[in-house]
A and B are shown apart, each in its own frame.
Chain A
Amino acid sequence: MSTAAQTDPAAPAGSAGPLAHRRPLGDHLFQILAAAAGVLVLVILALIAISTSQQASSWFSTEGWKIFTVDWNPATNNFGAMSYVYGTVITAAIAIILSVPVSVGLALLLTEVVPRRWARPIVYVVDLLAVVPSVVWGLWGILVFAPWLFHIYTSIASGVKGIPVLDALFGQPVSGASFFTCGIILAFMITPIVTSLSREIFATVPAIDKEGAYALGATRLEMIRGAVWPHSQGGVVGAVLLGLGRAMGETIAAALVIGSSPVITSHLFAAGYDMPAVIANQFGEASGEFRAALIGLGVMLFVITIVINLIARGVVERSARRKRGA
């Protein structure tokens, strides 16, 4: 990063020989050590891909295309993953729909509305959501939140009975543990990260654009719509994608509140299942192909989240670079 860091450092003072040739061995070793630590990240990512797919290979080879069915039955050695994929997508989608408006609103509040000395305590409070461990969200979700939601679900379900589309989405619940409960809990958990990423993006909007909008007589809302939003759309999409990746991979809270029932249904209040939850709940009693199938679900999850993260980081980085250049 620095110009000094690019060139070779000077040799010890008082040396007679050419400066560049007098670099001590320890200096070289330290550089190699540091580089090895950096490359370790790439090695670990490669090892994750190789070792888990190796363990899962028997699932992929014996089931073939049948992994894309809904038939999951360890007793008959059928391991179709689709109901878990469905649950993962649905719960992550609910989480995103609930979390994004709140996160973007919070980020705008922090960057455009409140003064700096108020922004800091608000950030601390929002970050507390991320400090509460996943398993505590799950514990609270299943013992306190889900029973409470059950009453609300019941009244919503009787309220929309007979209305064509809503009836199919919000049917009578069996218990408080459901796709929707899981989506709400995931929304709480991803809000801090989506907020902080959006905040960073909004902070890159040039002050001169905002001042220009105000000078033209815009209200704050008009300034946000005219100056902040066009500038940060791409970055916010990236932030939302990163939140989506987090929601899909979140395990323990989901395992506790999703209801553990592998079904594909349009009823959001029904008990469901998702990929990380089934791995967490069933891995203990699994062996042979059952275990291979569960690790295979992990491989699918890894591939999905890596792809989402690659796209999201690419989008964020590109929009950040364009902004800096502008």
Chain B
Amino acid sequence: MTTMEPAVDLREPAGWRRSKNRIATALMVLAFVIVLIPLGFVLYTVIARGASTISWSFLTGGPIPPNVVPAGIGGMWPAIYGTLVITGLAAVIAVPLGVLGAIYVNEYGGRGPLARVVRFMSDVMTGVPSIVMGLFIFSIWVLHFGYSGLAGAFALACLMLPVVIRSSEEMLKLVPDPLREASYALGATKSRVTLTVVLPAAIGGIVSGALLAIARAAGETAPLLFTILTVTATNANVFKGANTALSTQIFTNATQPYLGAQARAWGAALTLIAIAFILMIVARLVTARFTRYSR
């Protein structure tokens, strides 16, 4: 941090030492530039190619046409609907469980062995590859009950759960203890203190962490490949029958030689990125508006 540099430069470092220092600083700035290049390149390509495909009928029309059909016919609505509903269902499953888990780890478990194991294993679980989650749900659910949007939602929920637990726990940790103690002094029970005092105090950070987890999950492909299969028409029933999603549509279209299929992939990619970015921006707004305690 710059504040720690001496306010008055008492000595001039010798030439070679100063040059080495400057080279090092330049290399660090270069690292940032190296990150900017691919990011700009990807976003530019997706926006440029996606924008020419996206139209009102692309976003709301259906069914998704076969690969050979040129761009401009049919629409992606079945996939947009699938992504929204499956991700939404996953959030409904994972967010309450994750927040409850975080409440256990932070409010009840404390430094006890079980809470520490849960905290550590949540960290480990965030590193489990998403495709393994897909295979897991395939093994325990799809083999018995068939492909459905619900199965996809289970797989996404498994990915989101540890992320929500860890981010919510960080937020609960920031709530100052005197707030809890004051509530106990008024005679409230522990569950009451947790639900009516601690949780509202941390809700801004918890919601924004959950939204970021949802944004990541919305873009996931691998867990959906073996759980929802793929269809071309809207399947309104998320609990029964094969479904489709933007990410799996992009995956199947990306390797097609047909220009129409590729154009649809770019359009779907722009839609997917837009959904993820909107969720991320909302998360930032929630953080800015509702955060009471921060690091």
Q: Which one, B43, B108, B136, B180, contacts A34 given CB within 8 A?
A: B108
Question: Is A75 among interface residues, defined by CB-CB distance under 8 A?
Answer: no
Complex contact B135–A214 (CB within 8 A): no
The 10 closest A-B pairs by CB, nearest first: A249-B129, A133-B219, A105-B31, A37-B100, A13-B187, A30-B191, A38-B104, A34-B104, A309-B127, A109-B28
Complex contact A249–B131 (CB within 8 A): yes
Interface-located stretch among A76-84, A155-163, A167-175, A216-224: A216-224
A26 to B195, CA, bound (A): 12
20 contacts between A and B (CB under 8 A): A1-B107, A4-B184, A34-B103, A38-B165, A42-B118, A48-B128, A48-B136, A102-B35, A105-B28, A106-B31, A116-B1, A131-B216, A133-B221, A140-B41, A219-B17, A220-B25, A222-B17, A246-B127, A279-B135, A309-B128
A83 to B116, CA, bound (A): 38
Nearest CB in chain A: distance from B246 CB, A? 9
Given contacts A113-B25, A135-B250, contact A54 B139 (CB under 8 A): yes
A135 to B11, CA, bound (A): 53
Q: Which one, B32, B120, B276, contacts A122 given CB within 8 A?
A: B32
Enumerate chain A residues within 8 angstroms of B165, measured Cβ to Cβ.
Answer: 38, 41
Q: Is the interface of A mostly helix, strand, loop or mixed?
A: helix
Q: Which one, A13, A51, A109, contacts B31 given CB within 8 A?
A: A109
Complex contact A38–B221 (CB within 8 A): no
Complex contact A251–B28 (CB within 8 A): no
Question: Is B6 among interface residues, defined by CB-CB distance under 8 A?
Answer: yes
A242 to B129, CA, bound (A): 12
Interface-located stretch among B52-60, B67-75, B233-241, B261-269: B261-269
Encode contact with A along B173-210: 1 for CB under 8 Å, 0 otherwise.
10001001100111111111111000000000000000
Encode contact with A along B1-23: 1 for CB under 8 Å, 0 otherwise.
11011100001010001101100
* Given A38-B165, A55-B139, A133-B218, 20 further pairs, Cβ under 8 A: A1-B177, A10-B184, A12-B189, A14-B187, A38-B104, A38-B118, A45-B128, A48-B133, A111-B1, A128-B43, A131-B216, A133-B269, A134-B221, A135-B221, A135-B254, A137-B42, A145-B41, A214-B6, A221-B21, A283-B225
B residues apposed to A, CB below 8 Å: 1-2, 4-6, 11, 13, 17-18, 20-21, 24-25, 27-32, 34-36, 38-39, 41-43, 45-46, 97-98, 100-101, 103-111, 114-115, 117-118, 120-125, 127-133, 135-136, 138-140, 143, 158, 161-162, 165, 173, 177, 180-181, 184-195, 215-216, 218-222, 225-226, 247, 250-251, 254-255, 262, 265-266, 269, 272-273, 276-277, 280
Complex contact B180–A52 (CB within 8 A): no
A residues apposed to B, CB below 8 Å: 1-6, 8-14, 23-24, 26-27, 30-31, 33-42, 44-45, 47-48, 51-52, 54-55, 101-103, 105-106, 108-109, 111-116, 122, 125-126, 128-140, 142-145, 188, 191, 207, 210-211, 214-215, 217, 219-222, 224, 242, 245-246, 248-252, 255-256, 276, 279-280, 283-284, 295, 298, 301-302, 305-306, 308-310, 312-313, 317
